[in-house]
Structure formats: structure tokens, C-alpha cells
Amino acid sequence: MEADMREQFDRAVGDDPGIDLGELAHAAIAEGGRIRRRRRQTAAAGVAAGVVIVLGVVAGLNLPFRAPGSQGPPVTPGAAMMPVAAPSCSKPVERDATDVGIFLGAGTTEGQRSAVASSLGNDGRVAAMHYESRAEAFERFKKLWADDPDFVASVSADQLPPSFRVRLADAAQYAAFRAQYAAMDGVDQIVGRTCPASAPIGGIL
């Protein structure tokens, strides 16, 4: 293939004595170098974009992210501190959830927490409810990460979100239920799952 290209090159320039073949060859080499540099830059940009996308998905899903080959705790402790879903429940859903986790923010006041609790207690859509305080969340966290005492020692109860675990009377009401409570002061995140009746309330272990 290279011999054929060389022969065609020679024929193309052989009839034109005004072209310096050495200069033409240098120009071709220079252009080739520029093309290769552009390809390398494009490939590097693609890899960087891929890494950003992966990290963005990990953060959005609240999944623990570990560096390749690392056996230590997740790079994002906040994700590792989120409650673990019951195995019998689905992944988070946008509609028709039977069970709901309502997580309060770090700066939620007692008044805001009480308002959410009162609203849930008077909500006819709620079939069952359980509240988990920061202290209770910390006890669960310590059991979950018992094999990594250094990581446990680096976390305090104040860093864990208190939450309400809810089972709805009718899964079809989840979308409206979520919209109402997401708008309440102090609520940081709402996660709905489809669970069997045998699963823990809220679909969380």
C-alpha cells in the first residue's frame, strides 16, 4: 500500500518541475503532525468528559465511589452514609412508589421537623410511618460499616440525616405526595421505591 501511494505521489508531482519535492515532503510531514496532535487532544477531551459524566452519575445516585483498586471507604462519605435499600425493593422510582424515605437537611430545625411529622401524621395517604433520628441513623451506620472502624471514627451523628420512613396506602398517590413534601422547609431529599408488604417501612434497612 505504501509503495502504491509513493508511486502515485511521484507521478502527481513529476510533471511539475516548479515543485521542490523536499519542501513538499516537509510540508506533508508537518501537516501530519498537526493532525496527530489534534486527534490526541480530541481523545484526551473525550476521556475527561467521560470521567466527569461517570462522577456526575455516581453523585446523582448517591452511590459510594471508590478509586480503582482501592479497598478503603468511599471517596464521598455522604453517599456511604445514606441508608441502604431493602433487597426486595426496587431502585428509586418517579411514580407508583409503595414506600418513601423523606430525608431532612443538615440545617433542619426542630420546628421544621415537627411540621413534617405533623403533616405526615394527619395525611390519609400514609398507611404507616417511622421516624429515624440522627442518633438512630448513627447506630445503623456503625453496624453497616463495622468492618471499617477508621471510617466510622471519622463520622459523627450530626453528619447523618434524620428521616421519615413512610408506606403509602396507594402507590398511585406517590407523585402528588412527593411534590407536597418536597416543597416543605427542612426536607432535603425524597426517595420512593416499590416494595412488597414484607419489606421494612420506607424500603430501607
Domain boundaries, the chain: 2-61, 77-203
- Please write the tens of the pLDDT for every residue from 47-86: 333 333 333 333 333 334 333 234 444 434 555 666 788 9
- Please write the tens of the pLDDT for every residue from 95-110: 999 999 999 998 899 9
Highest mean pLDDT among 32-46, 73-87, 176-190: 176-190
Question: What's residue 121's pLDDT?
Answer: 97
Percentages of the chain per state (helix, strand, coil), in multiples of 5: 50, 15, 35
Query: What is the distance of C-alpha 102 from the center of its chain?
Result: 18
**Whether the predicted pLDDT of 132 surpasses 80:** yes
What is this structure's pTM? 0.61
Counting Cβ atoms within 10 Å, is residue 191 exposed (0-12), middle (13-18) or buried (19+)? buried
Banded pLDDT at 92 (limits 50, 70, 90): very high
The dihedral sign for the CA sequence 144, 149, 150, 156 = positive
In CATH, the architecture of 77-203 is: 2-Layer Sandwich (3.30)
**Looking at 9-18, 93-102, 195-204, which range is the least confident one?**
9-18
